[in-house]
Amino acid sequence: MSKIVQAVRGTRDILPEEGSYWQFLERTTHEILSRARYQQIRTPIFEQTPLFERGIGEATDVVGKEMYTFTDRGDRSITLRPEGTAGVVRSYIENKLYATGGVQRLWYTGPMFRYERPQAGRQRQFHQIGVEVIGSPDPRADVETISIATTLLKSLGLQNLHLAINSVGDGADRQRYRDALVDYLAPFKDELDADSQDRLDRNPLRILDSKDERTQEIAQSAPSILDYLGDNSKRHFDRACELLTQLGITYAIDPRLVRGLDYYTHTAFEIQSDDLGAQATVCGGGRYDGLVEQLGGKATPAVGWAIGMERLIILLQKLDRDIEPSVDFFIVSKGDRAEAQALELSHGLRRAGFTVELDLSASAFGKQFRRADRSGAVACLVLGDAEAESNNVNVKWLATGEQETIARSDLLERPDEWRVRLKGEAEVGSP
């Protein structure tokens, strides 16, 4: 026997048993985003490497250490996208989405790739859902995106989530703050973790979200960026906070929540879960008024967020809630004629809108009945030689065990009545 080729480290298969959680997440997302009139955009999974260097920034971990970059057969430097925003903004500029005027409300979903140390809630291929609102400088846009994130998480039934929010001001505010921060941190340089020492010159704001314990301790007493905001930035932040309060969305201000790069402006936010251990952040977002210009477009304000789907799936699985779509009929059959009729019946019932599982095993009725019980179906339809002969079908209601024999054509002639009966029986069957 030859050796088995295994999946690449940091990737995982999403097996059928997990599928219903993904579908529930995707269904709920589609519904909530379409209610808010966001439109889906699908951009390529790989892009030219400079897009991410300019669109995320060379001083970040993502670009500095985590990108899957390779040279293709045409000698181009290609990178598997580590996040969604850069590609969306590239597409916005390249396809002149601004030409229609007004605000673009976009969303995306799909796999992202980062070369990180794999652990629970952290993989090398993972999935995100993200939104980008491009073309509005209004704090209402910031709050709209946050409200959509919280509505989504709530609709999924998730609890123990906390929203943290901050402002990183504009370029001038940040320059002033950066100087004050470096002044504060410089005397501690030797005590900072290696990455943070490195960042002291290049990207000192990122030191604030270092995961190193001693660095965090030092950062606790660092000056707060909120004390360095100009009037315009202060107004934007106060307004966003006020609107969140008005919407009844609970938040905490965290002056250490930052984005390190120049094109991030004003609002930065994160949603964390108490139930995820070390990888607690499920949603990260904020305003990036400088990015469109940075990528070669006309200066255009924008705000967005990204949610890590694997982390939501972990949370959904912990809820232990029944999210399987219900099965209406499980069909068992035995004998040549009956088996053909059963196949035909399953075909007709599905076309009529029922959910139907057909047992293909041709095993003894007893075995098929046991599978029917495990299937979660509301009713079992039984076709044996006698039913095939008489053009009947036996209906067994699985919650009560009650049975009745009906004409096979009845199911397709009066589907609405059967739908009502199935619904009634499903309620009998539910705990």
List of residues contacting ligand ATP (CB under 6 A): 83, 114, 116, 121-123, 126, 128, 279, 281-284, 306, 308, 310-311
Cα separation, 1 vs 18, in Å, equals 30
Q: Confirm if 300 and 290 have CB atoms less than 8 A apart.
A: no
By C-beta, is 109 or 300 nearer to ligand ATP?
109
By C-beta, is 57 or 169 nearer to ligand ATP?
57
Can you read off the two tokens belonging to residue 381? 């339809």
Cα separation, 167 vs 205, in Å, equals 12
By C-beta, is 90 or 114 nearer to ligand ATP?
114
The least distance separating ligand ATP from the CB of residue 72, rounded to whole angstroms, comes to: 24
The least distance separating ligand ATP from the CB of residue 45, rounded to whole angstroms, comes to: 16
The least distance separating ligand ATP from the CB of residue 125, rounded to whole angstroms, comes to: 8
- In the complex, residue closest to ligand ATP by CB: 308
By C-beta, is 193 or 410 nearer to ligand ATP?
193
Cα separation, 258 vs 207, in Å, equals 9
Cα separation, 61 vs 408, in Å, equals 64
The least distance separating ligand ATP from the CB of residue 81, rounded to whole angstroms, comes to: 11
CA nearest to 268, candidates 166, 129, 118:
166
The least distance separating ligand ATP from the CB of residue 239, rounded to whole angstroms, comes to: 24
Task: Work out the burial of residue 29: count CB atoms within 10 Å of its CB; fewer than 13 is exposed, 13-18 middle, 19 or more buried.
Answer: buried
Cα separation, 254 vs 269, in Å, equals 9
By C-beta, is 151 or 279 nearer to ligand ATP?
279
By C-beta, is 63 or 379 nearer to ligand ATP?
63
The least distance separating ligand ATP from the CB of residue 167, rounded to whole angstroms, comes to: 17
For residue 120, list its beta bridge partners.
none
- Helix count and strand count (H, E) for the chain: 16, 16
Q: What is the DSSP letter of 329?
A: E
Which H or E run contains 111? strand 104-113
